[in-house]
Chain A
Amino acid sequence: AQSVTQLGSHVSVSEGALVLLRCNYSSSVPPYLFWYVQYPNQGLQLLLKYTTGATLVKGINGFEAEFKKSETSFHLTKPSAHMSDAAEYFCAVIRSSSNTGKLIFGQGTTLQVKP
């Protein structure tokens, strides 16, 4: 079965430091990959997605992620953290053979940004 693993349920960085949130998927066929962000008491907002083409994907708010098939990874990065980046981040996949668009989510990583 398709699964998504996010390493580290909590990540803490200082303002201005590099943000790295890890995501690995298990699938013999590369799925479509997504990162969502959830601010407190809000729904999820799409940060970026990878379906086909360029493996380095740029998203909103300065985030980017790189699809690495050999490592079955889709880690999320941002060069310089801002206080407003504090939120929960979810990695998700859709099976490439799916026609339902059903997202399978990882457990989430809470990002704390310290001043």
Chain B
Amino acid sequence: GAGVSQSPSNKVTEKGKDVELRCDPISGHTALYWYRQRLGQGLEFLIYFQGNSAPDKSGLPSDRFSAERTGESVSTLTIQRTQQEDSAVYLCASSFDPRNNSPLHFGNGTRLTVT
């Protein structure tokens, strides 16, 4: 079956513009995660969804960042008034059952460049 799909694969935007990043998880996966990967750094956790709820959004760096999930499926990560420090690869992952430590399956990411 299809893996985790993210779109767009690349996004270039001007400072101050808003962007929306999309994630289509594997069908049936209840958990969905967003991570940020800055150049040469590890992955920073942003937010976790269980179903359509986000019980852990502790990693969102500022109130310019928000995310939602609908239909226990697609998720969008929105960054308002983008800044150059937002440039990074944004990775989405999903898993079947986090309570049993099911492995996370990652998408290929969206590379965001803020000019």
- Report which A residues bind B (CB closer than 8 A): 9, 32, 34, 36, 41-46, 49, 51, 90, 92, 94, 98-108
Min CB distance, B59 to chain A, in Å?
A: 9
Contact B41 A100 (CB under 8 A): no
Contacting residues, chain B, for A49 (C-beta < 8 A): 101, 103
A100 touches B98 (CB 8 A): yes
Contacts of A34 in B (CB 8 A): 103
Asked whether A107 lies within 8 Å of B42 as measured between CB atoms, the reply is yes
Q: Which residues of A are found within 8 Å of B56, using beta-carbon distances?
A: 100, 102
Asked if A108 and B103 sit within 8 Å, CB to CB, the answer is: no
Measured in the bound complex, the distance between the Cα atoms of B106 and A46 in whole Å is: 9
Residue of B31, B42, B107, B109 near A100 (CB, 8 A) is B31
B31, B42, B103: the one within 8 Å of A106 (CB): B42
B91 near A100: Cβ-Cβ < 8 Å: no
Per-residue 0/1 for B19-45: is the Cβ within 8 Å of any A Cβ (1 yes, 0 no)? 000000000000101010000111101
Instruction: Give A12 to B102 CA distance when docked, in angstroms.
Output: 32
Of the A-B pairs whose beta carbons lie under 8 Å apart in the complex, a sample of 30, sorted by A's number, is A9-B40, A41-B108, A43-B106, A43-B107, A43-B108, A44-B91, A44-B104, A44-B106, A46-B103, A49-B101, A51-B101, A98-B98, A100-B48, A100-B56, A100-B98, A101-B95, A101-B98, A101-B101, A101-B104, A102-B33, A102-B45, A102-B48, A102-B98, A103-B33, A103-B45, A103-B104, A104-B45, A105-B42, A105-B43, A106-B42
Question: What band does the interface of chain B fall in when counting residues whose beta carbon is under 8 Å from A?
Answer: 20 to 34
With a cutoff of 8 Å between Cβ atoms, the chain A residues found around residue B43 in the complex are 44, 90, 92, 103, 105
Residues of B close to A51: CB separation below 8 A:
101
Contact present for B42 and A108 (CB under 8 Å): yes
Residues on the B chain within 8 Å of A92, using CB: 43
What is the minimal beta-carbon distance from A48 to any residue of chain B, in angstroms?
A: 10
Known: A101-B31, A104-B45, A105-B42; 8 extra A-B contacts, CB below 8 A, are A36-B106, A43-B4, A43-B93, A43-B106, A44-B91, A101-B101, A102-B45, A103-B45
- Say how far A37's CB is from chain B's closest CB, in angstroms: 11
Among B45, B50, B104, the one with the most A-chain Cβ atoms within 10 Å of its Cβ is B104
